[in-house]
């Protein structure tokens, strides 16, 4: 059994201020017994501000500071940041640090949808990322990746029983319903636990943001491989502590045959 914390926060424009959110979130999660602490996409700096000026490599000051927090508390921290790319763009990167690793996943599927064009400022990644911690294999994915079942099946093929999905989900009519359905569907597709940690809804705390940017709706959601919602947050900042049994993933795959019976 693995205890995982989802820290649903509102990150701001300032990476240094957002480091304080990471530190306080980890401290609270560790008090609750968490071994992995997950923060949303764009934890380093929210969408709606220029991203290139804040982008840093994985060995830069921001990621190194998060690594120090993870090491201090002997946990794995997963948090969204931005790393440099070519042609004046950045990469939308998930930092995975602690427990003997310091790595990054660059978001593969960019949010060119619902009137937003992430690819204007962000370069896509191409490589899946998994990591092993305390005998469990975890996959990672980011936000819009949630709409692509083949990614989750590929992570399961690579051994993942749990997928951690930081997000900054765009608001709009029907978007919460799509979020909830997609989290459950991807869990069913892959037989994996899917732990989706979103940015809190700025409106829930009176935070003013760029109305055209995907700055979050809250409702971080956890589904097991049977598509059952095990935990869900509300719209405002909140931390969910979830006990995950990786054995449920094998049970789900055996029951549904969703991976074994594939023909395409």
Catalytic (active-site) positions:
41, 107, 143
The 10 Å Cβ neighbour count of residue 165 is: 28
DSSP 214-264: -------EEE-TT--EEEE--SSSEEEEEEE-THHHHHHHHHH-TTTT---
From residue 48, how far is each of 198, 213, 215 by CA, in Å?
16, 5, 8
H-helix segments, the chain: 15-31, 61-73, 149-157, 175-190, 247-256
Q: Which residues pair with 4 in a beta bridge?
A: 36, 242
């Amino acid at each position: 059994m693995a205890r995982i914390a989802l820290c649903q926060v509102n990150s701001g424009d300032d990476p240094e201020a957002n480091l304080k959110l990471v530190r306080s979130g980890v401290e609270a999660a560790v008090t609750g017994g968490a071994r992995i602490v997950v923060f949303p996409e764009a934890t380093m700096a929210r969408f709606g501000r220029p991203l290139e000026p804040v982008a840093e490599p994985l060995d830069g000051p921001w990621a190194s500071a998060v690594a120090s927090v993870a090491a201090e508390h002997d946990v794995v921290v997963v948090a969204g940041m931005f790393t440099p790319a070519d042609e004046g763009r950045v990469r939308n990167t998930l930092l995975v640090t602690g427990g003997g690793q310091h790595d990054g996943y660059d978001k593969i599927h960019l949010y060119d949808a619902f009137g937003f064009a992430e690819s204007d400022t962000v370069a896509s990644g191409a490589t899946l990322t998994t990591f092993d911690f305390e005998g469990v294999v975890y996959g990672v994915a980011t936000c819009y990746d949630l709409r692509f079942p083949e990614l989750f099946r590929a992570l399961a093929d690579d051994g993942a029983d749990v997928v951690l999905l930081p997000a900054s989900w765009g608001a709009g009519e029907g978007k919460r319903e799509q979020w909830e359905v997609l989290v459950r569907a991807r869990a069913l597709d892959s037989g994996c636990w899917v732990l989706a940690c979103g940015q809190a809804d700025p409106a829930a705390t009176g935070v003013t943001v760029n109305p055209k940017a995907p700055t979050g709706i809250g409702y971080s959601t956890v589904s097991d491989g049977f598509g059952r919602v095990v935990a869900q947050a509300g719209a405002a900042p909140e931390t969910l502590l979830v006990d995950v049994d990786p054995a449920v993933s094998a049970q789900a795959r055996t029951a549904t045959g969703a991976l074994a019976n594939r023909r395409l």
